[in-house]
Amino acid sequence: MPSDADAVIPVLEALLDQARLRLNAWKVPQESVPAPAAALNAEPPRTPGVKTATARVDPASILKATDLARYIDHTLLKPEARAEDVVRVAEEARQYGFATVCVNSCHVATAARVLAGASAVPIAVVGFPLGAMLPSAKAFEAREAIRAGAREIDMVLNLGALKAHDYQRVHQDIAAVVEASHPIPVKVILETGHLTDEEKVVACALSKAAGAAFVKTSTGFGPGGATVKDIELMRAVVGDEVGVKASGGVRSAEDAIKLLRAGANRLGASASVAIVTGQISTAQY
């Protein structure tokens, strides 16, 4: 009898064929784009009360810099961050109305305590920043972060497996975290600075097929960051059924608006306060 793994391989191959068609369609716009495979258009799990809107943002809804706050994941991922730093960032999220606070999993409980009763929710990063962990380790970290109060999970995919064309392993890695986190939404960090356009398309397709709620550009610790070109490509692949998060190098309201217009509907930034107050930051994660 064929194994479960054998049964998955043809599905993944079909997905990748469709992903490559989407890449070609994005490079050379056509009037008719081939219909995606059913798995590529599958609706990922959703959680009532969790910020899982996935469609494009209407630029007309952004009239001033403060309107950007509801799209921003206020981020503190420095390894030397202390509890008092997390408290400060969470209090800023309450003050400015940011969508979330994104921290390392060891700080989730602190962020959750400060955000209790606020509209902002805590995010935990998982397998961060390399993604080179066992799927079981990522799944365990996700479960523990959710127990501590995380209401979204941002995981780093297995870059080595993607580069090796071991797409089944990439899919299983993402699916393990999605399953462990259910019904909490999962974002998949692609680390686009390491990827070719085709690899970005494949990563988006596999993330969508595995049930991710968002695809995300960067950790902020790798090469490059969010670009308009990458956001346009990612949105072209996932459609409106999966969100797109631009993260890495977003330092001003001008940066933020360009990325939202390109198709992002969430922004990861440590320079969040500068963005919504019309300043330009040189801050790094």
Which tens digits make up the pLDDT trace of 29-52?
Answer: 533 333 334 444 444 444 433 557
CA gap 170, 186 in Å, rounded: 15
At what angle are helices 167-181 and 197-209 packed, to 10 degrees?
A: 40
CA gap 213, 15 in Å, rounded: 17
Instruction: Tokens 């049964």: give the residue.
Output: 7
Cis peptide bond prior to 129, omega within 30° of 0: yes
pLDDT value of position 180 = 98
pLDDT value of position 14 = 73
Predicted confidence (pLDDT) at residue 28 exceeds the cutoff of 70:
no
Task: Please compute the mean of the pLDDT values over residues 267-285 and round it to a whole number.
Answer: 84
pLDDT averaged over every residue in the chain: 88
pLDDT value of position 202 = 96
pLDDT digits (tens, 9 = 90+) for 234-270: 999 999 999 999 999 999 999 999 999 999 999 999 9
Predicted confidence (pLDDT) at residue 153 exceeds the cutoff of 60:
yes
The helix/strand/coil state of 77 is coil
List, by residue number, the catalytic residues. Answer: 154, 216, 245
Predicted confidence (pLDDT) at residue 96 exceeds the cutoff of 80:
yes
DSSP state letters, 225-284 = ---HHHHHHHHHHHTTSSEEEEESS--BHHHHHHHHHHT-SEEEES-HHHHHTT-B----
Task: Record the tokens describing residue 7, joined without a space.
Answer: 């049964």
pLDDT band at 11 (very low <50, low <70, confident <90, very high): low
Predicted confidence (pLDDT) at residue 3 exceeds the cutoff of 60:
no
pLDDT digits (tens, 9 = 90+) for 166-175: 999 999 999 9
CA gap 212, 186 in Å, rounded: 5
Q: Which residues neighbour 133 within 8 Å (Cβ) at sequence distance 6 or greater?
A: 127
CA gap 274, 270 in Å, rounded: 9
Predicted confidence (pLDDT) at residue 24 exceeds the cutoff of 90:
no
Cis peptide bond prior to 183, omega within 30° of 0: yes
Higher pLDDT, 176 or 36: 176
pLDDT value of position 29 = 56
Higher pLDDT, 35 or 272: 272
